[in-house]
Homo-oligomer: A and B are copies of this chain.
Amino acid sequence: MKNVTLKDVAMKAGVSPSTVSRVVSDDSRISEKTKQKVLKVMNELNYYPNSIARSLANKKTDTIGVIMPSYEEDIFMNPFFQEGLRGISLVTGKNSYDILIATNHEGEKDVDVLKRVIKGNRVDGIILTRSNEKDESIKYLRESNFPFVLIGSCLEYDDIPSVDNDNEKASYELTSLLIKKGRKKIAFIGGELHSVVIKNRFEGYKKALNDNNIKFNHEYLISDKFSEESGYKLTDKLLKLNDIPDSIIVADDLMSLGAMKKIKEEKYKVPKDIMLASFNNSILAKYSNPSITSIDINSVQLGKRACEKLFNILNNNKKLENNKEIVEYKIIERDSTKII
């Protein structure tokens, strides 16, 4: 069963293909009468435009590419990405766009995926969902001048359109909260250190210590992968120090669950012996026992704003809006930092 083409519609309606094309793309210069006639035939024939052919002709795909972690990475499962995707899909839907999730083909590095997708004309724009130090993808996108928005921040360039929380400030506040509660031996557990988010959070932590005349103890900074298991292992290290911390800032809820598990196993009490404060405020933090104080980073909003910004760029709505947009965070204080 062959697909109905624009030509078929044209024939049956007794008009030229270009006329039908104009109806499809809602061109104004066309009489209401022929428009209705064509629409009727389109309906009768159950015609749908071939979007591949359209894309080829007008160089527009009505698709944006979202770069997620590759399936091998633990972080793929972080609720953050799902929430961000939800925000993005809300905006793409409103703009009649769809989303392409490019996956790493055999042997492809992240930049290769980008190149293939962009040079292959598969998308009109890109959303990056995270950033690393000296990020190759950002570098490539910037140099190729392809429309994109970063969820996160970029350390090297100042002209990257991006949406992010003020992670440094959030971390500063979170650390200050612990200090206010009388804690001085505050450790920091992070995910991969080349990740910009982690760097920012670490900076805020260090600054808070500094501003409160607490000297930074190198033993108290440890980091590894972004997983629950890694939270567990890192905490184990902390608890084996001669001078164990009285509180921990953890860069992600998932990791903090691992941390909590280890702390309990070693018979320490949260928050009495060790306070715990974390980031991302996924549902995990709320239902942990004790519940975990966490920074709500509003991931859905991050995705939403990133996508809106991308559409602004695509539509050339001048870049009057600031390149770097900040989404508000909120400290959700829970039992893990409440003195009882």
Q: Which A positions have Cβ atoms within 8 angstroms of B?
A: 1, 3, 48-53, 55-56, 61, 63, 68, 70-71, 76-77, 79, 81-83, 85-87, 89-90, 92-94, 96-106, 115-117, 119-122, 145, 228, 254, 257, 260-261, 283-284, 287-289
How far does the Cβ of A143 sit from chain B's closest Cβ, in whole Å?
Answer: 11
CB–CB A119/B48 < 8 A: yes
Partner of A119, one of B3, B86, B283: B3
In the bound complex, what is the Cα–Cα distance between A115 and B97 (angstroms)? 15
CB–CB A77/B83 < 8 A: yes
CB–CB B76/A86 < 8 A: yes
In the bound complex, what is the Cα–Cα distance between A76 and B300 (angstroms)? 12
* Chain B residues whose CB sits within 8 angstroms of the CB of A86 once the complex forms: 71, 76-77
* Chain B residues whose CB sits within 8 angstroms of the CB of A120 once the complex forms: 48-52
* Chain B residues whose CB sits within 8 angstroms of the CB of A96 once the complex forms: 105-106
How far does the Cβ of A87 sit from chain B's closest Cβ, in whole Å?
Answer: 8
In the bound complex, what is the Cα–Cα distance between A121 and B61 (angstroms)? 12
In the bound complex, what is the Cα–Cα distance between A92 and B102 (angstroms)? 9
In the bound complex, what is the Cα–Cα distance between A97 and B20 (angstroms)? 33
How far does the Cβ of A31 sit from chain B's closest Cβ, in whole Å?
Answer: 25
Closest to A101 in B: B99
In the bound complex, what is the Cα–Cα distance between A283 and B232 (angstroms)? 14
CB–CB B284/A121 < 8 A: no
In the bound complex, what is the Cα–Cα distance between A68 and B283 (angstroms)? 21
* Chain B residues whose CB sits within 8 angstroms of the CB of A287 once the complex forms: 257, 260-261, 284, 287-289
How far does the Cβ of A122 sit from chain B's closest Cβ, in whole Å?
Answer: 6
Closest to A68 in B: B89
* Chain B residues whose CB sits within 8 angstroms of the CB of A121 once the complex forms: 3, 50-53
CB–CB A99/B100 < 8 A: yes
* Chain B residues whose CB sits within 8 angstroms of the CB of A284 once the complex forms: 283-284, 287
CB–CB A101/B89 < 8 A: yes
How far does the Cβ of A255 sit from chain B's closest Cβ, in whole Å?
Answer: 12
In the bound complex, what is the Cα–Cα distance between A97 and B51 (angstroms)? 18
